[in-house]
Amino acid sequence: MPVDSGATPVASNRDNEKKARLYSLDALRGFDMFWIMGGGSIFHAISKVSGSPFWEAIDTQLEHPAWNGFHFYDLIFPLFLFMAGVSTPYSVGRELEKGKSRNQLLLRVIKRGLLLVLLGIIYNNGLQLQPVSQIRFCSVLGRIGLAYMFANIIYLYTKGRAQMIWFAGILVVYWLLLKFTAAPGFAPGDLTMEGNFASYIDRCIVPGKLYLGIHDPEGFTSTFPAISTALLGIITGNLLRNSPMLPVRKVGLMAIIGVMFIILAQLWNFDFPINKNLWTSSFVLQVGGISLLLLALFYYVIDIAGYQKWAFFFRVIGMNSILIYISGHFIDWHYTNDSIFKWLGQLIGDPINAIALSITLVFVKWLFLYFMYKKKAFLKV
């Protein structure tokens, strides 16, 4: 098979695969973060300028649905969490092999999880002193931290089959919980924002304010099924790192399971709607299936076939994903972009300048990440 000059297919033998950091995983993480760091804005601008039904359809996919349903943009967060799980056998698993005790690693996992929760609170509210009632404690980083933490605890103290049971068991229990309960005054199984049991529990126990007043998409209760998203990543990471199966067969298995999950999600959707806000069990299967398909594709093209050069752009992003996520709190990217490229927008003129400046915004952020990459400066939590 053709290989890029200088590329090394890390999946060519099992020993290298066990030791190497997957290039494809960094690239896929970068692809995921690309949409958050401004990729979506490029397509929003194209849609607005063109007025084309095609670009409007793309634009719709880059926004979250109001409640039930699924758009491409709903994949961004769970795909990141899935990849955090895939990394576990390569990080925590490697430390176990080096002789670290489970209790030592447990402490590290808990510290990392709680630090992400703290960073999430800071990200939401800055460092301003506010009354507790005005602080939003739930966050994207907080959900990643808690789901990562509990999934890793399960990984530390169970084997592969038990991890699969945990994955499925959490989804079934969460479905039954929301199926046979509801907020006071609503019929059991009510899944509206006002009536569902998960949001009601959050209103009762979560301090501070919820993002939507009566509901928070990163609420405490809906974090439990997110543990299954991270667990699916861990199970996949185990397959990639530890299975004696040929790499191409691993790709096939991931693809088959991915398709099966998507089909099951559509069937479950009739009874338990696909809903990111509630992180429903059908949503977990939907995004899990797509995540498996994407990882299978990236793994085959990059790590097996060895086509790595095209993915360097994404890898630079993926290796500093948390840094670029929180960077907007200490760097005014729009001011920076305007300072460097305002002349370009003026030269091009309305309405195309909106597209050009959206592209340069991503470019400026990427140059910052490339500088950090060259300096080997990576923000790790």
Nearest alpha-carbon partner for 251 in 192, 292, 221, 308: 292
DSSP character at residue 68 = S
- 8-state DSSP, 379: -
Whether the per-residue pLDDT at 118 is higher than 60: the answer is yes
Taking only the tens place, the pLDDT of each residue in 31-49 is 999 999 999 999 999 999 9
- The CA distance from 109 to 102, in Å, is 10
Distance (Å) of CA 349 to CA 44, 47, 353: 18, 17, 5
pLDDT one-digit tens code per residue, 191-205: 999 999 999 999 999
Q: Give the Cβ contact number of residue 296 at 10 Å.
A: 21
Shortest CA distance to 123 belongs to which of 142, 151, 100, 101? 142
- Cis ω before 351 (30° cut-off from 0): yes
3-class DSSP state of 208: strand
- Tell me the residue type at 139: S
d(CA 309, CA 100): 36
Residue (of 44, 205, 217, 62) closest to 139 by Cα position: 217
Helix (H, G, I), strand (E, B) or coil at 262: helix
Question: Tens digits of per-residue pLDDT, 234-288?
Answer: 999 999 999 999 999 999 999 999 999 999 999 999 999 999 999 999 999 999 9
Give me the pLDDT at residue 11, please: 42
Band of residue 19 on the pLDDT scale cut at 50, 70, 90: low
Structure tokens given for 178: 């929301």
| pLDDT for 23 | 93
**Which string of DSSP letters, residue by residue, matches 29-89?**
HHHHHHIIIIIHHHHHHHHHHH--HHHHHHHHHTS--SSSS--GGGGHHHHHHHHHHHHHH
Q: How far apart are CA 261 and CA 283, in angstroms?
A: 10
Q: Report angle CA 318, 320, 323 to the nearest 5 degrees.
A: 130
- Write out pLDDT tens, residues 340-375: 988 887 788 788 888 999 999 999 999 999 999 999
Residues 6+ apart with CB under 8 A from 225: 170, 171, 174, 279, 280, 281, 283, 284
Q: Provide the pLDDT for residue 20.
A: 62
